[in-house]
C-alpha cells in the first residue's frame, strides 16, 4: 500500500477507509454504511466489491502481510552484490515505510487478527513467518555472532519497536516523517547491535 504512486482503485479506497475506521472504532463499531459514506458510495454498493466486512478485514490483514513479504523479497533480489549491512538497511527502510504510512493496519492487526477465519489467520501467520526468516538470514550475515534463536528474537523485537508508530501520537504531532524515519532506523540498527553484546 505504501509504495504505490498511481491513483488508488475504488476497491483500494474502500480498504483504506475501512482500515482507518476499524482502527479508530473497532471492527464491530463500524457499519457498512459508514465505510460506504467515507468513499462516497452507498453501503449496499460496497457489496459489488466485497462480500462484507469480514472479507474486507481478511483482505487487509492477509494483503499487508503479503505485501511486506513481497517487498522484502524484491529488496533482496535488487541487492545482488550489495554488502549485507546495506541490505539490512533496505529491509529496515521498507518496514519503516509500512510502519509510518499504514499505521491503521498495525492497530487492526493487533486488535482484530483473531476475528479472521482460521484459514485466513493461518495464511497471515505463514506469510509473517516467511518475512521474519528473510530478516533472520540477513541479520545473521551482518551480526554473525548471533545464534539463530537470538537473531529471530532480535527481529521480533525490532518489529515491535517499528510497529509502535500508532502510539507515537497523531501524524501531525510527529517531528516530521523524515526525522521520525531516521530515528526509527537508528533505533532498529542499535537494537540489532545490542543483541550481540553480552
Across 71-86, b (16+ Cβ under 10 Å) vs e yields bbeebbeebeeeebee
Give the per-residue pLDDT at 197. 63
pLDDT per position as a tens digit, 8-44: 798 999 999 999 999 999 999 999 999 999 999 987 8
Assign residue 186 the CATH number of its domain.
1.10.357.10
Q: Mean pLDDT for the chain?
A: 91
Please check whether residue 17 lies inside any domain of the structure.
no
Q: Specify if 113 maps to a domain.
A: yes
Count how many domains the chain has: 1
**pTM for the whole structure:** 0.89
- Under the banding of pLDDT at 50, 70 and 90, the label for residue 174 is low
Q: Is residue 25 part of a domain?
A: no
Whether 102 has a pLDDT exceeding 80, the answer reads yes
- The pLDDT, as a whole number, for residue 60 is 97
Is the pLDDT at 5 greater than 70? The verdict is no
Domain containing 148: what range? 53-195
Angstrom CA distances, 48 to 9, 10, 36, 52, stand at 14, 11, 11, 10
Q: Looking at per-residue confidence, does 167 or 192 come out higher?
A: 192
26-30, 112-116, 160-164, 174-178: segment of lowest average pLDDT = 174-178
Residue partners of 170: CB distance under 8 A and separation at least 6: none
* Residue 2 maps to a domain: no
Distance CA 119, CA 126 (A): 10
Amino acid at each position: 500500500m505504501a509504495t504505490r504512486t498511481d491513483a488508488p482503485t475504488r476497491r483500494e479506497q474502500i480498504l483504506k477507509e475501512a482500515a482507518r475506521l476499524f482502527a479508530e472504532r473497532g471492527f464491530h463499531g463500524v457499519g457498512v454504511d459508514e465505510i460506504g459514506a467515507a468513499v462516497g458510495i452507498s453501503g449496499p454498493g460496497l457489496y459489488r466489491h466485497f462480500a462484507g466486512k469480514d472479507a474486507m478485514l481478511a483482505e487487509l490483514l492477509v494483503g499487508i502481510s503479503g505485501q511486506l513479504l513481497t517487498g522484502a523479497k524484491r529488496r533482496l533480489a535488487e541487492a545482488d552484490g550489495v554488502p549485507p549491512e546495506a541490505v539490512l538497511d533496505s529491509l529496515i527502510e521498507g518496514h519503516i515505510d509500512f510502519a509510518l504510512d499504514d499505521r491503521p493496519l498495525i492497530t487492526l492487526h493487533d486488535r482484530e487478527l483473531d476475528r479472521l477465519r482460521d484459514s485466513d489467520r493461518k495464511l497471515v501467520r505463514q506469510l509473517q513467518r516467511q518475512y521474519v526468516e528473510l530478516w533472520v538470514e540477513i541479520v545473521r550475515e551482518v551480526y554473525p555472532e548471533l545464534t539463530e534463536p537470538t537473531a529471530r528474537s532480535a527481529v521480533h523485537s525490532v518489529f515491535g519497536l517499528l510497529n509502535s508508530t500508532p502510539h507515537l501520537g497523531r501524524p501531525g504531532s510527529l517531528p516530521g516523517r523524515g526525522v521520525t524515519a531516521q530515528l526509527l532506523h537508528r533505533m532498529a540498527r542499535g537494537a540489532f547491535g545490542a543483541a550481540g553484546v553480552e
